Structure 1
Amino acid sequence: MDLTYLPWKQPAERADHPCVRDERLELSYSEFATRVDGAAEQFAELGLGPGAVVAVILPNRVELLICLAAAWRLGATATPINPVFTATEVGYQIDDADALLIVKAAADAPDGGRRSLVVDDLRPVPRGTALPEPATSADDLALLIYTSGSTGRAKGVMLDHANIAAMAASMVEALRLTAEDHCLLVLPLFHVNAICVSYLSTMLVGGQLSVLGRFQPVEFLGAVERLRPTYFSAVPTIYNHLVSLPAAVRPDTTSVRFAICGAAPASEELLRATEERFGFPIIEGYGLTEGTCASTANPVDGPRKIGTVGVALPGQVVAVMDPGGNLLPAGERGEVVVKGANVMQGYHNRPDATAETLGDGWLHTGDVGILDEDGYLRLVDRIKDIIIRGGENIYPKEIESVLYSHPAVLEAAVVGTPDPVYGEVPVAYVALHPERTATVGDLRRVCVQHLTKIKVPVSIIIQGALPKNPVGKIDKPALRASLATGHTP
């Protein structure tokens, strides 16, 4: 198992190479390792050791990465927490993870009443008093990443170093990453996409990582021009913002050899519009936290099938299963299941949920998909999002794809609402491109043209924007709640 992403396992020849930077700090590989040693020594003095958990509640910045690596140096676990969480949300994750130590942005930031350390007080170099030898092994728990909790309270996904090393190695092979690559990290670092695809994969090959504190479309493109990254990973919402910029915004994006799109479905129109405008290919992939981020992707240097999320990544098996546990042939619809060294150890303190998700040796994703003859996966929907109207299954993604075919549609989401006659009926929420217009009638006509009658939404609601969860996915639970209360989300 290659753990070269750990600073103390880096080859000596990388010592002076550029490693990581943000808006305030730029470090070589040796300087980053020194910072990690300083923080690890400080953590050890505060009682952190093998098996303990440190909670890191920081916005995107280099120190967040230092804290992760410092915990790992001690054989400890890190649980990153969304820095915009309320005190109640922070307290829930800290208590559920039983965090021994909290690293936070300011003295008055919430910490669940536990021992805490303000980020500006992190020790930049070790004092040589209490720094133990590195105690990291492949079966140490590395991360507790909490799911968005769309079906209840968030669950802690347990990922050990074997999981994250397998994920990083898989991405390196699939994306053909080398020491010449430079990743621009813009996604939040409390999520596995940013940690594994941007941070760990880059460290594994000895490349450069530039960390942005937040996403703003014009500033992001300015960073691309200034820093000259070779790739970045983003979600559909980010690409929506980029293609919505005025036509006069024409940045130099020639350094980017590809960009990744994941975490939520993207329409074919959005992918094509982004590629045409900015000139780099977009590699759409698919995965979930329980699989340490990604399980499929369209090839960087092979056939890309827009409308699919690509083929299984190296080291993984992706299949489609019927409700009886039988694997289905190409062309048939069923639940997407995954095997590989990237599959989580389970949910923290949730044995029943772990057994339900992993019990037969496969990771059950809860997504409905179809594999074609070439192994490319097309996602149909979430099992729990299926709308059953009068006994007929309706897949919201099919309706959303039709809505996205209208050139004015920027975002679309379809959810079910209770109906006294049919049980459930579909309702569509739509956000329009800021420079284009469409009426409810226009959108209904598109649906009527391409969908059978039972799939046509009973209502189409046009809003300025659709609500998002912390990782940028359209928040369907919020939309369902708005239908129940009659309030606009």
Structure 2
Amino acid sequence: MGPCIADDHEQLDNRTFLARVRNAAAVLGAHGIGAGDVVAVILPNRLELVVIMFAAWRLGAAVTPVHPGLTEAEARHQIEDSGAKAVITDDASRSAGSLDVSEVTHPRAAGDDDPADTVSLTSDSLALIIYTSGTTGRPKGVMLDHANVAAMCRMIIDALGLDDTDHSLLVLPLFHVNGIVVSVLSPLLAGGRATIAGRFSASAFFTSVERARPTYFSAVPAIYAMLVALPGDVRPDTSSLRRVICGAAPMPAELIARFEQRYGVPIVEGYGLSEGTCASTLNPPAGPRKPGTVGLPLPGQTVAVMDAEGNLLDAGSAGEVVVRGPNVMRGYLGLPAETARTVVDGWLHTGDVGRFDADGYLVLVDRIKDMIIRGGENIYPKEIENVLHTHPAVLEAAVVGVPDPMLGEVPVAYVVLLPGATVTAGELVELCRGSLARIKVPVAVTVTEALPRNPVGKIDKRRLRSSAVNQ
């Protein structure tokens, strides 16, 4: 049996991986986990997370991976909102009644547990609940069933030409669908293998590449920027890499060129979102690749551009990017009205503005929503604004993203105080640190007398963003 999956600590072949999954399923089953249940997993990138995911599926349960960097309140919301019946973590203090990961996944000798019976899954059985912030700042659970995941994996395998010789190096977090689908499930289904890297470090990354000898990895523009910024004497052996993938945010053509020229590896840029089970377009690995675009629609999906009235637009016209296909989510958990607004007549409305060029490649123009993408992580200003509003001195708050050479964008905040009230920018930053994950904390807070407004009285974030850039 050949190698299957590895992390920084161990490597499993297919037989051992199956045994580990069967044992973990037996433990979960003994704790009452069965078909239709949800298992929450709060772990950094490590092999055990994948074992638990497969074990839960073996029992007919779904998995909701929780960002280990969330605050206690943020993690609790996801656990409670998903209705998780079990929480698995390496920190028992994170949740009452949680299971320690070692209890679930510790290797056992054959016969230590009776393997749990497998459940016959149907295509509409829930597989994953991936949480992503909504326009109101309240995290929403994206429900992906096994049909979604299977369709997406087949599209990725076909588009990238994956086979049993492929070996992915996972550097993106496993609480994102990209990390799960592109870097774990797809290579395994193609007969290949996956190596899970721990916390990303630009200085140590190519050491991992040289040691693991992967054929590809998937990353976000911020990671490529950090790799390009490495000292000039860093000259790694990248000969094992056939291609690398970029997603989560548009990547500047100049950055693509710098990476390819320095490291001799082609970047395949794509586009998608969690609601579409990861990817909807991709620059074809065999070419032509067109930097500045996010590529062609993946076979099996229809990607189009629509105006505000719901009319499909011709090539060259800008409008909202919409997606239709078997990869479109089942919906938002417990939010039927939000689901109905997002998926209309089978079309997933992405909230992104784009246009198709003459060759059918998608060019992203802007975002309808005010989402900030910091190092590939989606940040919604409203969530930060809600925290700022909890301070008794704050009357109004607005958060916008400003360009950052390494991270793409970072959030900055502007606040108006109640008359006679006082608070320092530092105190407001500390308030955010106590309630938000580190990536969501604004890099700067400016106290101002008034916020710019449009003719109907709404805060004009376009003007605010422009003034922030010019400061």
Query: Please, what TM-score do these two structures have when normalized by structure 2?
Result: 0.80
Q: Are the aligned partners of 1:320 and 1:336 in contact in 2 as well (CA < 8 Å)?
A: yes
SS at match of 2:355: strand
- 1:120 aligned partner: 102
SS at match of 1:294: coil
1:103 to 66, 81, 88: 88
Measure how far apart 1:290 and its partner are: 0.1
1:93 to 78, 90, 108: 78
SS at match of 2:24: helix
Matched, 1:340 2:313: no
Matched, 1:227 2:212: yes
1:398-448 Cα deviation digits (max 9, x unpaired)? xxxxxxxxxxxxxxx9x9xxxxxxxxx9988344579xxxxxxxxxxxxxx
Mapped partners of 2:277, 2:18: distance in 1: 24
Measure how far apart 1:471 and its partner are: 11
Q: Are the aligned partners of 2:183 and 2:217 in contact in 1 as well (CA < 8 Å)?
A: yes
Mapped partners of 1:375, 1:344: distance in 2: 25
Mapped partners of 1:23, 1:340: distance in 2: 37
Mapped partners of 2:406, 2:98: distance in 1: 44
User: Closer, same or farther in 2 for the Cα pair 1:194/1:107, shift >3 Å?
Assistant: same
Mapped partners of 2:128, 2:142: distance in 1: 8
User: Closer, same or farther in 2 for the Cα pair 1:433/1:213, shift >3 Å?
Assistant: closer
Q: Are the aligned partners of 1:20 and 1:208 in contact in 2 as well (CA < 8 Å)?
A: yes
Q: Are the aligned partners of 1:44 and 1:130 in contact in 2 as well (CA < 8 Å)?
A: no
- 1:204 aligned partner: 189
Measure how far apart 1:130 and its partner are: 6.0
- 1:273 aligned partner: 258
Mapped partners of 1:356, 1:69: distance in 2: 32
Measure how far apart 1:268 and its partner are: 1.0
2:402 to 408, 429, 439: 429
SS at match of 1:63: helix
User: Closer, same or farther in 2 for the Cα pair 1:67/1:259, shift >3 Å?
Assistant: same
Matched, 1:174 2:156: no
User: Closer, same or farther in 2 for the Cα pair 1:471/1:336, shift >3 Å?
Assistant: farther
2:51 to 66, 69, 76: 66
Measure how far apart 1:117 and its partner are: 1.1
Mapped partners of 1:430, 1:308: distance in 2: 19
- 2:60 aligned partner: 75
Measure how far apart 1:23 and its partner are: 1.1
**Which amino acid letter does the alignment assign opposite residue 324 of structure 2?**
K
Measure how far apart 1:148 and its partner are: 3.4
Q: Are the aligned partners of 1:78 and 1:144 in contact in 2 as well (CA < 8 Å)?
A: yes
Mapped partners of 1:478, 1:283: distance in 2: 31
Mapped partners of 1:278, 1:243: distance in 2: 9
Measure how far apart 1:214 and its partner are: 1.0
Where in structure 1 do 4 or more consecutive aligned residues deviate above 4 Å? 425-428, 483-486
User: Closer, same or farther in 2 for the Cα pair 1:239/1:471, shift >3 Å?
Assistant: farther
- 1:165 aligned partner: 150
Query: Please, what TM-score do these two structures have when normalized by structure 1?
Result: 0.77
User: Closer, same or farther in 2 for the Cα pair 1:433/1:161, shift >3 Å?
Assistant: closer
- 1:464 aligned partner: none
Q: Are the aligned partners of 1:18 and 1:29 in contact in 2 as well (CA < 8 Å)?
A: yes
- 1:358 aligned partner: 343
SS at match of 1:384: coil
Matched, 1:185 2:167: no
Measure how far apart 1:69 and its partner are: 0.4
1:323-368 Cα deviation digits (max 9, x unpaired)? 1110000000000000111000000000000000012210000000
Measure how far apart 1:384 and its partner are: 2.1
Alignment of 1:132-143 (within 5 A): 132-143=117-128
Q: Are the aligned partners of 1:75 and 1:137 in contact in 2 as well (CA < 8 Å)?
A: no
- 1:284 aligned partner: 269
Mapped partners of 2:275, 2:201: distance in 1: 29
Q: Are the aligned partners of 1:333 and 1:370 in contact in 2 as well (CA < 8 Å)?
A: yes
Q: Are the aligned partners of 2:39 and 2:56 in contact in 1 as well (CA < 8 Å)?
A: yes
SS at match of 2:369: helix
Measure how far apart 1:139 and its partner are: 1.5
Measure how far apart 1:86 and its partner are: 1.4
Measure how far apart 1:385 and its partner are: 3.5
Mark the runs of 5 or more structure 1 residues left unpaired by the alignment.
1-15, 387-395, 398-412, 416-424, 435-466
- 1:383 aligned partner: 368
**Which amino acid letter does the alignment assign opposite residue 107 of structure 2?**
P
SS at match of 2:36: coil
Q: Are the aligned partners of 1:191 and 1:471 in contact in 2 as well (CA < 8 Å)?
A: no
- 1:330 aligned partner: 315
Mapped partners of 1:271, 1:234: distance in 2: 12
1:300-330 Cα deviation digits (max 9, x unpaired)? 0021111000000121110000011100000
Q: Are the aligned partners of 1:337 and 1:365 in contact in 2 as well (CA < 8 Å)?
A: yes
- 1:239 aligned partner: 224
- 1:23 aligned partner: 8
Aligned alpha-carbon RMSD (Å): 2.8
Q: Are the aligned partners of 1:57 and 1:80 in contact in 2 as well (CA < 8 Å)?
A: yes
Alignment of 1:456-467 (within 5 A): none
User: Closer, same or farther in 2 for the Cα pair 1:430/1:290, shift >3 Å?
Assistant: closer
Mapped partners of 1:359, 1:432: distance in 2: 37
1:81-102 Cα deviation digits (max 9, x unpaired)? 0011111111100000010001
User: Closer, same or farther in 2 for the Cα pair 1:261/1:484, shift >3 Å?
Assistant: farther
**Which amino acid letter does the alignment assign opposite residue 275 of structure 1?**
E
Q: Are the aligned partners of 2:144 and 2:329 in contact in 1 as well (CA < 8 Å)?
A: yes
- 1:214 aligned partner: 199
Mapped partners of 1:363, 1:484: distance in 2: 39
Measure how far apart 1:124 and its partner are: 2.6
Mapped partners of 1:335, 1:358: distance in 2: 13
SS at match of 1:314: coil
SS at match of 1:147: strand
**Which amino acid letter does the alignment assign opposite residue 429 of structure 1?**
V
SS at match of 1:49: coil
